Every structure is written in structure tokens, then in C-alpha cells.
Structure 1
Amino acid sequence: MINNQVRSDIDRLWLDFATGGISNSLIIIEQISFLIFARLLDMEESQHERNALYAGESPHYFFRVDQQTLRWTNWSRMSDGEAMLKFVRDEVFPHLRILGGKKFTFGEYMKNVSLQISKASLLVLVIEEVEKLPLGNSDTQGDLYEYLLSKLTTAGIHGQFRTPRHIIKLMVGLVDPKPFEIIGDPACGTAGFLVAIMEYLRQSYSIPEFAEIFEGGSKSHVGNQLEDNHAHIQHGMFHGFDFDATMLRLAAMNLMLHGVKNPDLHYMDTLSKVFPEKFPAIADGEKGGLDVILSNPPFKCTLAEDVHPSLLKIVQTRKSELLFIVLVLRMLKSGGRSAIIVPDGVLFGSSKAHLAVREYLLDHNQLEGVISLPSGVFRSFAGLPTAILVFTKGGRSQDVFFYDAQADGLSHEEKCLENADNDLSDVLIQYRHWRNGESDFSDRTAKAFKVSAADIRAHNFELSINRYREIRHQEVKFEEPKVILARMQMLEVEIQRDMAELEAMLR
């Protein structure tokens, strides 16, 4: 958890860019990410130098003897701003581009990047602010970058938008990932889901007494029971794909600052014909696949002709929101589970493609839950009503859990301020009760209830919660009209009397 001072430093850093002539939020975060990476490389080099004293190894890892001037600690202290700007642009950034993925996956996404800061005065200010950031504290690194990403209000070039963190945390809780599983997101964006899974594992596999308590009561969990899975977490657990290189750079940095230095991230359109050819062990559950997939894929995109035929066998459509459901099911292992966000149209659309996807979910897999999200959750980005689908690959659906979440604890009218109304924690509680058979959930007037698969089939596979929720009408008794009229006449008499008294006072 970052404190108010760190937030203030980041806000000032952001303001520096805006007043310096750079207002695009994607460019700002990219440039900050590059500079953070440059500083982290220097910090890692210093750590390697200290370790090499005891191991008898070469003290240089990222920077050779003749490259020491390229280290953050050297060039960031230049007194001449113009000289610093030229050196960073012409020497430091080219060095970052050729480092590749040495130790950090983020390095792979430095290819073809450039310094977008053209004013020496701006670079000096930005360097001073980045120097203040507590990058040496692993407990705050991730939260620091999450706060930076919260300023990302610009949608990606392919229509992606950032998923609110509290919605991500709910979805992670719904699928309950394990530290030995293989996890992915076919449209990962800034890797919000993958990061949240890492945080969930740290919290779930920590000894409580080792948690660090910060000001305000928040806790930092070190995940000290994850040691046996450390290699898997660093190199085999996390897989992300996106067709926006900028998003992948932000994803790699986000994961690195949350303690995952080598996630498997790739520039790829996962709906294309090329995807299963390049990544057969990930793209096809029959050849490998994933245990868990969490995703918020792009909505309302009509795709070109490059869709893989295996997806079109299930559903003849070019709508991305339908194809991604089929893609996720193809990528999952048998018994693998997923939670994904879909626009409401997926739940009740009447086209052949909509019906085919819902039938496939219900009759050839296990649809576990349909959670209707509060109105306005994505208002800042897309303005679409949405829902979460929770399902398991294989089998056949029996009963389906429905929840009508009407409030998420935030006010969406102004600045997303917190308020007391919040159904999201109850969603997770009720879902776990339902999974554990702790209640029959037969009352369809409640927020949480179940619907049999047979009932859903009888209603053309519709998954809209309003189709099945029952509204209990209460009889309202009104007074007789004569009684109401008599009361109105009495009020009129009183009004006339008061008017007469006022008139007398004005004489």
C-alpha cells in the first residue's frame, strides 16, 4: 500500500508531463515505465555487484566495464539538462533496446521504443520525480504502478479499456486459483487479472503473523508459503496475449513490479489462424491448455477474415464478444475454469450465433454463474451494461447461480467516490455458499438465486437475470377519495385563514 506522499509524487510526475506538453496518458505511462526500467536495471546491477563479491563472479551483468556511464546513477546526476537529454536519447535508450529479455521479460518490449521527451527541462523534472519513487521496496512497487495505471483513461487502439480493480478481485475470488496451476488471459491489456492472481496467491499462502500492517490497517502479504512453487510462478504460470504492443509493455512492467519477472507475454491476436499454430500448448486444451482463464476481452468488434476455423465450427460470427467465449473454452484444459466479462447482449441476443454460444456453454460445458454487474461500472470507458460468466470446461450444466449486483461500492456520477452500497463482497460469499451446497437458493425474489438448466433451455437459452427473477408485489392501500378531499378542504381553510392574517398585518 502506497502512502499519500507517494501518491502526491506520482501526481506531480503526471502534472510535469502535462505542463511539459505531453498529455496522452499512454505515452506518459510508457515513458515513466522506460525510466523506471532504467533505474531498476541499475539497482539490479548494484545487487549483482554485491553478490559477486562473495561468489567470485563478474561484477557486471547488464552493463560492461565500458558501459558504466549508461547506468542511472551516473547519467541521472548530470548538471546540464541539454546534455542529459541528448545522452538519454542517443545512448541510454539504444542500450535498453538491445538488452532484450535478459532477466526481465519487460526488456523484450523495449525494441523500437524511443524517448518522447523533447524538452530538457521536462526530462530533468521527470528524473527527479522517478528518483523519489520507492522502487527498492517490493511491498510498494506493485501498488505504485497500479496507481499509475489508474490514470490510464485512454482506451487502447483496438477498443480495450481498463477493468476496475474491485471487479478483477471479485473474479479472481470466484475461480480461486492455485499456485501450481497454469493461468492466462487471451486479451491481457495491462495484465490486471494476472497481477491480481499473484496478489491473491500471496494473501492466500501467507502466514498471517508475517503480514506487514501499514498505516490505515492495510496489509502486505509476502506469500511465504509459495516457496515450493517459486520457479513455476516465475517461468510457467502466467501467460498473456494482446495485439497492442503498448499494452504488452505496460503488462510486463506491471507484473515485474508485482514480483513476476518472467511471465510469458506475446504480441498476438488470439482469435487469428496463427495463434494455435504458434502456441499449440496454450491455444488448445487437448494439447496442453490452461487451468484458469480470466479476461475482459474487447467488446463490439467485428473481425476480418482471419478467424481460426475451429472457432467458426462452434459459432458462425465475426463478433468478438462471442468468439472470445469459444476461444476461452478451446484454451482451457478439461475441468479448467474461467470468469470473463461480457456485454449484456451476449445473455439475451436472439441471433443464431448468440443462441449457438449459449447452447454450447450450457449443454457441452458447465455454466456455473451469471453475475449481473452494477450499471455504470464501465461508464467512464464504454457505457455498456455487463455481466460476469463463470464456467468450467466439459460436462453439462445442471443449475446456474444468478446474482443481481446493483452496487459496487463506488459512486459513478462523480469521480468514482466510495459509498456504503456494495454487493460485490456478498456476491463472493453467496457464490461460495451455493458451490458448497449451504443453501437451496430457490427464492427468485432474492439477489442471489439458482435456475435449472432445463428452465434456461425452455427459455431459448436466455441468460438475462430479468428473465428469471421474480418480483414480489405488495398491495398498497389508499384512503378513500372522500377522505382525501375532506383533508384538502381543511387545508384550504387553514391557508385562507393564514392569508387573511398576513393581509391584516400589512394594513
Structure 2
Amino acid sequence: MITGAIKSQVDKLWDAFWSGGISNGLTVIEQITYLLFARRLDELHTAKEAQANLLGQPIEDPIFNKRQQRLRWSRFKDLEAKEMYELFRDEVFPFIKQIGGNADDPNATAYARFMKDAVFVIPTPSLLERVVTMISDIPMDDRDTKGDLYEYLLSHLQHQGRNGQFRTPRHVIRMMVEMMAPTPTDVIADPACGTCGFLVAAGEYLRDTHPKMLVDKRQRSHFQQGMFHGADFDASMLRIGAMNMVLHGIDRPDIRDVDSLSTDGGEVRDRYTVVLANPPFKGSLNYDEVAKDLLQVGKTKKTELLFVALFLQQLKVGGRCAAIVPDGVLFGSSKAHRDIRQELVEGQKLDGVVSMPSGVFKPYAGVSTAVLLFTKTNSGGTDHVWFYDMAADGFSLDDKRDPVDANDIPDCIKRWQKRSAKKDTDRTAKAFMVPAQEIIDNKYDLSINRYKEIEYEEVEYDPPEVILDELEKLEAEIAGDLKELRGMLS
């Protein structure tokens, strides 16, 4: 976690852009990202230099050649404002854009493709000098600090009106990743990736739980090129997402500019072993815009249902999914709602449902949500469904979302990992299992309140006569006090 001091520095950096005339949150993030990337390139080159000097050999794959040394962060950051501005605008920024190769090359990296239309819009030399100095003063000594710093920057998007819908709280993402527990051989996807938060978190989880993975040449190659896949149709978000991946050490993710629900996205089927996603809610598409195989699962225009169908189509048999859905998916009465739930319960293996409190997505949305966890089998397999009633996520459930002590997430993960149909039978507990047949009998209703039992404590009251006697006694005492007070005033 980054410290309060670093957060304060980031907040001042953000304020500098606003006072400098750049008020769009996505634009601010993009411009800061370009500067962070310029700094990272210099750090990587410095590390290569140190290794070459230690071994007494030439630098292997240098980032900057001899003629490009002036483009390094450490060289231009102390220049006079006007000179720095002209150098960054005319040379450094074009250099950054072409790092990933030719954007028109079919084999170009996601970074190269999405940087093609990137624009440097910092308006004045004084603003560039100011923010470069601020970024230089922020300590970024290790990968975790860089990642936390970037995530904190992205957290500002939640205050930027409609843009906030693209960001899922990081602690919720981590919970879902831990529940899926990806392995070094998995192929992981988010078909509505936005800033790539799920993919980044999956990468961090793998680094922490499988540290030897990046030492093995084959596994390292898979991690860098074949493991992570994402799609979105917002150019700015894709650019930020690609940057997020690169800043977290994943240089060649497969990030695509495509609407996953459309016919254009239909080519990706039976491909992934893990899907992690928070797809858009409350959207509606025309039938002719939607890939036809998705409508076969449930004929609907609602994006939250279409995405569940999409996850099933994109997963390989045996693949697992954790996806956030609005509560309406759990109990909606339309035929499409029931068809989707029936498919999960009878056609696939529905593993669990985590009911989350309605304040998780505040301040920009108050909708109640849940996490669906399922495995693609194409042959059924649902015996029992695990339910968890999350009442707190470690933050206040109002618009401020301040940290609080109450937090069910660690308990949720622990109980999920130890779930047992034989032991999890107490329906007054936080977690319990429900037989599939009971869910079928309830028209595939997956709302936790349908199955959770609430214990009511019996409260005993005094008989009415005793209560009336107490009231008369109190009235007499009040009357006596008033009489005494009048006597003091006369």
C-alpha cells in the first residue's frame, strides 16, 4: 500500500492538471501515464546499464541508443521549462509512441496499437515542468509501489461522473482473483476490461503465489504473451489499460478494440480457462447487433445477461468464471433471466453466489450486486450452490467510502476455500450451501434472501399495568420538579 504522503503528492499532481486547464479525468490519467512511462523507460535502461557494467559486456537490447540519451527522464527532467517542453513534445513523446513497434504491423503490441492515436495535450511549459518535478519527487522504488501508485491514480476516476463506471474497487477485484486462484498455466480474460484491473490483479496474484513462474522460460513467455486477454470499445480506456499492464510488468497482453457482445467479437470462443469481469449494467442492444450464439442461451437485449452468456461461450470446458452482476440477474422473472439461471444450474456447474452490500460501488452507483462463480461443463454438475452474505467490505457504505474495521472479505475467501456441502448447512450463518434441486424448485431464484434463515431474538416486555404505573410515577416526578421550579421563580 502506498503511504499517505505519496497519496498527498498524487493529489497535488492531480490538482496541478486541473489548475492548468485539464479537467477531464481520463485525459489527466493519460498524460500522467505518458510521463510515468518515460520515467520507467529510463529506470529500465539504467538497470540494463548496471547489469552490463557488472558483467563487463555491452548493454543487451538497450532502450536508448547513443543518439537518444537526451530523451531519458534523468536527462531532461532538470532542463529549463521551455527547452523541456519542446524536447518532450517533439522527440520524447514520439519516441514513447513507437516503443512497441509499428502500430500498423499485424504483430504489433497492444501498447503500440493503442498509442497510435495518443496525443500530448499538456498546454504550457510551466505545467509540464511542474508535473515532471512532482513525479520525480514521488518514490517508486519497486513494482508494488508503482502498481499501487497507478491504482490510486485510477481511483480518481470514480469521482469523474460517468467514467467511474469503468472502475471496480481494487479490494473486490482481489477477492474475486483469490477465489478463482489462477495458476501459471491458465489463460485469463476480461471481455469488458476497461483499465485492465482484473488482469493486473491476476498477474500480481500469480507473482505472489507462484514466484518461480517467471524464472521458468516457458512459463515466463506464457505470462508475457499468452496468458492475459482483454477487450473493450473505448479507445481512451484501452490506452490506459494497456499502459496499466505495461507498468505492472506485462508487456504483450492481448488487448483488443472490439465490442465483445457484437458479431465482431464472436471469433473468441472456447478459448479461456479463467474469466474475471465486471461487465456493464443496464445496457440494451438491438438483436441484430448481438452475436447469434449468445441469443441461443437467452434471447434478450440486456447486456448483463448477454455477458453471462458470453462468458460461457468464451470459456473452455472446465474453465471458471467470477463475474459481478446486478441483483436482478439473480431473481428477474423474465424468460431470459430464468433461461440464463437455468443454464448455469442445470447445463453448467454453478459454484457460488456472493451477495455484496449495495454501497460497494458508491459514490457513482448504489445498485445491489453479487458475484457469480461458475464452471463451464456443458454437462451439468451442480449439486449444491454456496452462498455468502457479505455485509461489509472494509469501507463505509456511503458516498465517502472511508476505511472501517468491519470487513467480511477475508472471511468470505476463507470459507470459500473450505466450503463443504456436509458442513455448511446452517442457513443462519454467513455462508451456507443449498441443494440444486431446491433452487430448481424455486424457479432458479439465486437471491440469498430466498434461502437464508434469520434468527429473531425474543424480547419480553413488562405487562401493560406495570408500564402504566411507571409512566404515572414519571409524570408525578415531572410535576413535582415543575412545582419546585415555579417556587424558585416567585
Aligned to 2:23: 23
Aligned to 1:488: 471
1:467 aligns with 2:450: yes
Structure 1: how far apart are the matches of 2:207 and 2:47?
A: 24
Structure 2: how far apart are the matches of 1:150 and 1:273?
A: 32
Aligned to 1:355: 338
Structure 2: how far apart are the matches of 1:257 and 1:25?
A: 19
Aligned to 1:75: 76
1:432-461 Cα distance to aligned partner (Å, 9 max, x none): 2215x5x53222222212211111111111
Structure 2: how far apart are the matches of 1:37 and 1:84?
A: 16
Correspondences of 1:53-68 after superposition (within 5 Å): 61-68=62-69
Correspondences of 1:16-415 after superposition (within 5 Å): 16-50=16-50, 61-79=62-80, 81-101=81-101, 105-153=110-158, 160-205=165-210, 223-224=211-212, 226-228=214-216, 229-277=219-267, 283-285=268-270, 289-304=271-286, 305-394=288-377, 395-396=379-380, 397-413=382-398, 415=400
Given that 1:16 and 1:126 are in contact with CA atoms closer than 8 Å, whether structure 2 keeps it comes out as: yes
1:38-76 Cα distance to aligned partner (Å, 9 max, x none): 222233334445556658657774444444433333333
Given that 2:52 and 2:59 are in contact with CA atoms closer than 8 Å, whether structure 1 keeps it comes out as: yes
1:78-115 Cα distance to aligned partner (Å, 9 max, x none): 21x23332332233323333333489753442212111
Given that 1:191 and 1:251 are in contact with CA atoms closer than 8 Å, whether structure 2 keeps it comes out as: yes
SS in 2 for 1:275: helix
Quick one: which amino acid aligns to residue 2 of structure 1? I
1:267: Cα distance to partner? 1.4
SS in 1 for 2:229: strand
Return 5+ residue gaps in structure 2 as ranges.
103-107
1:102-144 Cα distance to aligned partner (Å, 9 max, x none): 8975344221211111122111101111222334533422122
**Which among 466, 472, 477 is matched to residue 460 of structure 2?**
477
1:177: Cα distance to partner? 1.1
Q: Return closer, same or farther for 1:161/1:57 CA change in 2, 3 Å cut-off.
A: same
SS in 1 for 2:304: helix
Structure 2: how far apart are the matches of 1:181 and 1:203?
A: 16
1:349: Cα distance to partner? 0.8
Quick one: which amino acid aligns to residue 295 of structure 1? A
1:245: Cα distance to partner? 1.9
Given that 1:159 and 1:299 are in contact with CA atoms closer than 8 Å, whether structure 2 keeps it comes out as: no
Q: Return closer, same or farther for 1:137/1:422 CA change in 2, 3 Å cut-off.
A: closer
1:466: Cα distance to partner? 1.2
**Which among 394, 414, 429 is matched to residue 429 of structure 1?**
414
1:289-315 Cα distance to aligned partner (Å, 9 max, x none): 111111101111112432111111111
Given that 2:193 and 2:232 are in contact with CA atoms closer than 8 Å, whether structure 1 keeps it comes out as: yes
1:328: Cα distance to partner? 0.6
Given that 1:371 and 1:404 are in contact with CA atoms closer than 8 Å, whether structure 2 keeps it comes out as: yes
SS in 2 for 1:479: coil
Given that 1:153 and 1:381 are in contact with CA atoms closer than 8 Å, whether structure 2 keeps it comes out as: yes
1:390: Cα distance to partner? 0.4
1:30: Cα distance to partner? 0.6
What TM-score, normalized by structure 2, do the two folds share?
Answer: 0.91
Q: Return closer, same or farther for 1:317/1:156 CA change in 2, 3 Å cut-off.
A: farther
Aligned to 1:5: 5
Q: Return closer, same or farther for 1:51/1:487 CA change in 2, 3 Å cut-off.
A: closer
Structure 2: how far apart are the matches of 1:284 and 1:105?
A: 20
Quick one: which amino acid aligns to residue 116 of structure 2? K
Quick one: which amino acid aligns to residue 308 of structure 1? A
Structure 1: how far apart are the matches of 2:324 and 2:70?
A: 48
Quick one: which amino acid aligns to residue 393 of structure 2? D
Identical-pair percentage: 46
SS in 1 for 2:289: coil
1:177-199 Cα distance to aligned partner (Å, 9 max, x none): 11221111111111111121222
Given that 2:188 and 2:273 are in contact with CA atoms closer than 8 Å, whether structure 1 keeps it comes out as: yes
Given that 1:158 and 1:244 are in contact with CA atoms closer than 8 Å, whether structure 2 keeps it comes out as: no
Given that 2:362 and 2:399 are in contact with CA atoms closer than 8 Å, whether structure 1 keeps it comes out as: no
1:367-386 Cα distance to aligned partner (Å, 9 max, x none): 01111101210121222110
Return 5+ residue gaps in structure 1 as ranges.
206-222, 278-282
Q: Return closer, same or farther for 1:159/1:310 CA change in 2, 3 Å cut-off.
A: farther
Given that 1:161 and 1:381 are in contact with CA atoms closer than 8 Å, whether structure 2 keeps it comes out as: no
Q: Return closer, same or farther for 1:473/1:235 CA change in 2, 3 Å cut-off.
A: same
Aligned to 1:218: none
Given that 1:171 and 1:339 are in contact with CA atoms closer than 8 Å, whether structure 2 keeps it comes out as: yes
Given that 2:363 and 2:400 are in contact with CA atoms closer than 8 Å, whether structure 1 keeps it comes out as: no
Aligned to 1:212: none
Given that 2:304 and 2:329 are in contact with CA atoms closer than 8 Å, whether structure 1 keeps it comes out as: yes
Structure 2: how far apart are the matches of 1:33 and 1:308?
A: 35
Structure 2: how far apart are the matches of 1:162 and 1:20?
A: 25
Given that 2:324 and 2:371 are in contact with CA atoms closer than 8 Å, whether structure 1 keeps it comes out as: yes
Name the count of aligned residue pairs.
479
Q: Which range moves more in the overlay, 343-352 or 298-307? A: 298-307
Q: Return closer, same or farther for 1:370/1:290 CA change in 2, 3 Å cut-off.
A: same
Structure 2: how far apart are the matches of 1:13 and 1:164?
A: 22
Structure 1: how far apart are the matches of 2:9 and 2:23?
A: 18
Structure 2: how far apart are the matches of 1:173 and 1:146?
A: 18
Given that 2:17 and 2:28 are in contact with CA atoms closer than 8 Å, whether structure 1 keeps it comes out as: yes
Q: Return closer, same or farther for 1:227/1:49 CA change in 2, 3 Å cut-off.
A: closer
Structure 2: how far apart are the matches of 1:318 and 1:41?
A: 45
Given that 1:85 and 1:123 are in contact with CA atoms closer than 8 Å, whether structure 2 keeps it comes out as: yes
Q: Which range moves more in the overlay, 415-424 or 328-337? A: 415-424
Aligned to 1:280: none
